[in-house]
């Protein structure tokens, strides 16, 4: 099982510092699950001789099923899309093994509104019964990465649902929002896909768990943080306009609300 060769996820703020604190690897799903699973990811850390480390993440509109061994404590939880920025503090030692579902793709497995999970962390056993509960001990019982992946894929294949056209549509719209910079407003998104704003909002609530406005803002901030990191941008007015903001003040407000500090401070901390 070879990791996907990809740079550290742009959702991870200050990735150069993060890479010194933990090891993140991504793995592709089997073809039979590729319609629903974006990738698997593993995270390992050992900070037993170091101070705790808090990592802030500009999360994607994706739901994750995560197994954890956190300083010996075994957990198996489903994480809904965070309503704000997600911060994880690492201490001691541990590891995670997670399934990142494509946007909209968790709903067919659960058949409940994704909005019920937003901002929440729920035990896998509560959603999927004894088979889900059994996953909690996987990291401790199965040390080999390939064997762990095989167990997880059997679990998911046993649950594999029928295709859901509405879930796939929601996923395509989110994908377009992540790559098409001309989609700047919710009205643009609704018009492109031939639906009213209200219908689009209902679709996202059911399948994504957050609003279309949240998705557009989050991808704009992903791009802003990445460009600031790579290009050390200081012309905030120009960047604001490029990202579709009405003015620099609105961009600065959103950036600070989500990242926790204004862009000027963020670029200084990057050095």
- Report the pLDDT value the prediction gives residue 5, as an integer from 0 to 100: 62
More confident call, 156 vs 265: 156
Instruction: Tell me the pairing of strands 73-79 and 121-123.
Output: antiparallel
* 159-178 per-position pLDDT tens digit: 999 999 999 999 999 999 99
- Report the pLDDT value the prediction gives residue 1, as an integer from 0 to 100: 59
CATH number attached to the domain at 165-270: 1.10.10.60
* 213-264 per-position pLDDT tens digit: 999 989 988 888 888 888 777 788 888 888 888 889 989 988 888 888 888 8
- Summary mean pLDDT of the chain: 90
pLDDT at 193 over 70: yes
Tally of CB atoms within 10 A around 191? 14
More confident call, 182 vs 117: 117
Answer yes or no: are the C-beta atoms of 109 and 127 closer than 8 Å. no
pLDDT at 8 over 70: no
């Amino acid at each position: 099982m070879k990791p996907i060769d990809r740079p550290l996820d742009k959702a991870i703020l200050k990735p150069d510092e993060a890479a010194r604190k933990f090891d993140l690897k991504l793995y592709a799903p089997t073809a039979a699950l590729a319609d629903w699973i974006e990738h698997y990811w593993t995270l390992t850390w050992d900070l037993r001789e170091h101070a705790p480390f808090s990592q802030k993440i500009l999360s994607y509109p994706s739901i994750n099923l995560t197994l954890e061994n956190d300083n010996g404590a075994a957990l198996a939880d489903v994480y809904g899309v965070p309503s704000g920025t997600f911060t994880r503090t690492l201490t001691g030692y541990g590891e995670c093994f997670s399934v990142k579902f494509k946007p909209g793709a968790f709903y067919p497995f659960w058949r409940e509104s994704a909005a019920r999970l937003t901002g929440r962390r729920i035990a896998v056993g509560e959603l999927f019964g004894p088979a889900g509960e059994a996953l909690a001990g996987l990291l401790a019982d199965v040390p080999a990465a390939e064997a762990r992946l095989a167990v997880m894929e059997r679990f998911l294949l046993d649950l594999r649902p029928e295709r859901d056209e509405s879930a796939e549509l929601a996923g395509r719209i989110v994908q377009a929002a992540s790559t098409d910079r001309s989609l700047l407003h919710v009205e643009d998104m609704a018009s492109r896909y031939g639906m009213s704003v209200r219908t689009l909002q209902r679709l996202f609530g059911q399948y994504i768990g957050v609003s279309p406005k949240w998705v557009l803002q989050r991808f704009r901030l992903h791009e802003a943080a990445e460009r600031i990191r790579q290009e050390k941008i200081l012309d905030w007015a120009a960047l604001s306009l490029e990202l579709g903001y009405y003015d620099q003040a609105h961009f600065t407000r959103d950036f600070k609300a989500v990242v926790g500090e204004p862009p000027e401070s963020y670029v200084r901390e990057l050095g």
